[in-house]
Structure 1
């Protein structure tokens, strides 16, 4: 029976270490003394895919073959060093009796004639190197021993069971999980030493011992925030949910750190625990904050063949009154060119956001905007207002309700009408995605209902807009490199006839947000001249596959489909399908997007192709 730290089996003893150093010195010297000898490597499969990958990654005979050619002595030294590396890999996965055999030119490494064989071998064909393994028995954990005074449930916190394969990584990970669990249960000063393993060769088992010192459960001492300058301490205090005297719990501390970071007023938030207990034997906690720049200015640009070029800029104050209030001024020029536009448009907006409005998880948004749109579908000049209250119910769920007055003048088919409307938008949003501009997993589901009525002097009847939008993202275990993205939209308008609706309130499809490959708003019922009429119901769907290439590049392939119907029957319109490919360049602030799309079943007002350029994924 042999006793050792569990990772000692992965370390090379001092004699072996000395031997490897001498071998490496010989390899360096020999590299200058002999011509390099080309060689090929054949590494046998073990039947364990994970082990095969680890062995391949450990093999310098493979990784240095072309990068660092060597002569006979250095080649043998490299092979001997790989024997040690392979042994470590075998033992780390539980094969403690595993053996490695490397043969060069069909001779073992201890063959005295090996050097001469290599020295006098021709450069072509390369000399063969064959690597074989005898795994032996897979060791399993027999018993787990916790040495020290620990809570009764501590054994469960290891998350390692008897009879499990004796993998070094699992045994070490169990130590880390035990330590985290102890800290999570208030043992802030707990220590768990490196595990000690007893090898039992007769039964191919390990006994693993963890020496644990828990100390006493600790409560929090003074909770303070350092680094505040312009931010109101009261605002910060409303976002801290921990206080002196509460049990020490790392997850709760981290949750509060993230809450401060998410306020948007800090560039960084770090946690610093006290080095020692205070006089009350409590552990102080300090949040070290750095306030972000109070003002930021950004410029943006986008282009598509249907809507042309657009340029925008905005100025934002991130902490207007000290409580995280945001004031945003936006101005943009739109519709510069484009096959779906008839003139240049603009948008100007002022937005004010007040967090913690009447409640810590409630935000008040107010917005005033002036827009001009000159589209093939209609021309519009409008003044829009909005007061919106949003409430975060959980990490994933958010609800909102508001009021949206608007005054607009719209011309369609040479007929001009003025509209003075009031809408009451209400929505519920589920969002579990991991990124705003480049989501790779999670889902977004947003049902909404918006009653709209006339305020004064309008013949418009009241109506209700009902929509359900959703998108979801599947990462194929590639850390975001291979992603399947799906998108869908259903919508219906109730309470008024199609031509009783203002043109801008009707549904349209076509363009980057619905069906790429078709001109903006072009899908659906048409007037006699081919211009879009809009409809009362919409249904669209998208399938998109995203594949990253190298570090900063990516390609996508997508298919969009959609229809707009003149009435409320979702299936009464003609379905149009667009398909295309795209390129992505990934930057630190999001991917730059270029999409090229074709209409599969063209209609009379669709072009031959469309191009879209912008920041962020299409959805």
Structure 2
């Protein structure tokens, strides 16, 4: 391969192979000392000048005091093509490029005659006139193919726009089953007198293909039959590149593999089918994790989990979670929980998994102590990368001991059904997108337990402002309601409280509920709940952020005297230290309204509050 460049009134030929020979042939090298670098772009607009300087490896090498003369010569020779590509991408096809080392054109320096010392580097790029498209033709195109707006007569003739148009044309055919669509012919001609570039490109769609067979390699502990079922490769169906992406996503979301590669075959079978090769690299079988969150009044919450990624070699995942909450808190006592869950992917289909879960817990609240357990199983289906649905059948019991020493047992059979929509750009630190979770749980009570249904929702929205997205507005709405079951007959874990880091910061944890008269005043959760939160987040530096927030919540029950004024609210400021695993959060909040506040509240955790 040879590069031809117009430089300083002469045409210079540079061999890429010769450049490599130079780098390999020369052993010792002298360091560049006291280098005078001059970079000029006469007639170039500011944005083009900035792009040329940023893309120049000679500038980068010259800025490094440890660069040798041979390295700087190699950088200069490589720069001819880099600077020319930068001009082409901006629509300049008549430019002149000159790179002089100690006054000599770099491309004319003999391969074994690099100067022993360098004192000056002169880079000059004259862009010439900007070219526009005289002709912009790409055919044939598949139905619904959208070409870039800039690929049209009269627009600036950027190379990147041509490449984008060709990619869109090929992808359009691939989306309709023509997996081997490629460029057929291409004619690019520049008219330097008129500063026009004519582009006429044809695409060869090839035959429409179906998926063939998938060969699997790289697995060790994984059962190949289960691996194929989880992947769900669509053998026999018309080729669609989106189906290949779905296969990759199914395998990645299991957590079993560190790497997943699915590559189409280079050749088409005589039956017009296209095979593919799947290569996986399995992750370590086990993983241990932990978390912590601290609130001034609520105390310290500690949690940990143990994960087995590939139980029995069939892709099932076992996770055991434990938590101790309220350590040193001023409200109630410490809470304990221990749970386990097994997820088995591809149970009723490639996108439907089954799960079994169990949990035991003991909660010390301000007005009662609750001990309970829950066992359930269900299905989870992924409709698309953003929408997930689930349905389960679970049985739970709960013994609640009030302040008077009386114990009430609640037991029920429930059918929770839920949907989750999530298109946020980040789970721990979102700046755009939406999140929504809606769950309906019909339940049948036994003995003293009522029959009814609980519905609850959690909706969040994020929007960043400015080109740098340093300012983000975040909002959250939570609601819940219990139907059909009286307050006294409803299991306590179906009722709603407000206050604390998950609802209203600045107010103590679960400090807002309802009061009932039962031989005295008994505080309990309500059957209706509404809360909203707003945050204004800004980044001061790449690692430091500030947050201003306001939270409010309302809890009530139709059978208990309450009104719209039974709200409480809190507001405050937060500090964020941004890390690779998400921001470390420090929030300081004060009560704003309501009579449940107890002064300043401090919250420390990982990830944004929502």
The answer to whether the superposition gives a TM-score over 0.5 is: yes
Q: Please report how far the alpha carbon of residue 285 of structure 1 lies from its aligned counterpart in structure 2 after TM superposition.
A: 1.1
In the other structure, the counterpart of 1:379 is 369
Instruction: Map 1:182-201; keep pairs closer than 5 Å.
Output: 182-192=173-183, 197-201=188-192
Instruction: Map 1:104-503; keep pairs closer than 5 Å.
Output: 138-145=130-137, 151=140, 153=142, 159=148, 160-192=151-183, 197-210=188-201, 216-244=207-235, 246-278=237-269, 282-340=273-331, 342-422=332-412, 423-456=414-447, 458=448, 460-476=449-465, 483-496=472-485, 498=487, 501-503=490-492
The equivalent position to 1:564 in structure 2, one of 533, 551, 554, is: 554
5+ residue gaps, structure 1, are 22-27, 70-77, 101-108, 110-130
In the other structure, the counterpart of 2:117 is none
More deviation, 208-217/222-231: 208-217
Q: Alpha carbons of 1:407 and 1:216: their partners in 2 closer, same or farther (altered >3 Å)?
A: closer
Distance in 2 of aligned mates of 1:486 and 1:466: 21
Contact 1:531–1:605 (8 Å) recurs in 2 = no
> What secondary structure is seen at the aligned counterpart in 1 of 2:592?
coil
Q: Please report how far the alpha carbon of residue 488 of structure 1 lies from its aligned counterpart in structure 2 after TM superposition.
A: 0.9
Residues 546-594 of structure 1 deviation map (CA, whole Å, 9 limit, x = unaligned): 445666x24241413222233358844224132221213323xx31522
Q: Alpha carbons of 1:64 and 1:524: their partners in 2 closer, same or farther (altered >3 Å)?
A: farther
Distance in 2 of aligned mates of 1:493 and 1:248: 48
Distance in 1 of aligned mates of 2:322 and 2:348: 31
Distance in 1 of aligned mates of 2:124 and 2:563: 64
Distance in 2 of aligned mates of 1:257 and 1:199: 43
Contact 1:140–1:204 (8 Å) recurs in 2 = yes
The equivalent position to 1:92 in structure 2, one of 86, 89, 93, is: 89
Q: Please report how far the alpha carbon of residue 241 of structure 1 lies from its aligned counterpart in structure 2 after TM superposition.
A: 4.5
Contact 1:530–1:605 (8 Å) recurs in 2 = no
Cα RMSD (Å) = 4.8
Contact 1:594–1:611 (8 Å) recurs in 2 = no
Q: Alpha carbons of 1:14 and 1:180: their partners in 2 closer, same or farther (altered >3 Å)?
A: farther
Count of aligned residue pairs for this structure pair: 564
Distance in 1 of aligned mates of 2:564 and 2:37: 68
Q: Please report how far the alpha carbon of residue 382 of structure 1 lies from its aligned counterpart in structure 2 after TM superposition.
A: 1.6
Q: Alpha carbons of 1:314 and 1:38: their partners in 2 closer, same or farther (altered >3 Å)?
A: closer
Q: Please report how far the alpha carbon of residue 257 of structure 1 lies from its aligned counterpart in structure 2 after TM superposition.
A: 2.1
Distance in 2 of aligned mates of 1:208 and 1:404: 64
> What secondary structure is seen at the aligned counterpart in 2 of 1:338?
coil
Distance in 1 of aligned mates of 2:88 and 2:213: 47
Q: Alpha carbons of 1:281 and 1:274: their partners in 2 closer, same or farther (altered >3 Å)?
A: same
Contact 2:459–2:478 (8 Å) recurs in 1 = yes
Contact 2:566–2:594 (8 Å) recurs in 1 = no
Q: Please report how far the alpha carbon of residue 469 of structure 1 lies from its aligned counterpart in structure 2 after TM superposition.
A: 1.5
Distance in 2 of aligned mates of 1:96 and 1:606: 70
Q: Alpha carbons of 1:349 and 1:83: their partners in 2 closer, same or farther (altered >3 Å)?
A: closer
Contact 1:98–1:136 (8 Å) recurs in 2 = yes
The equivalent position to 1:613 in structure 2, one of 583, 604, 607, is: 604
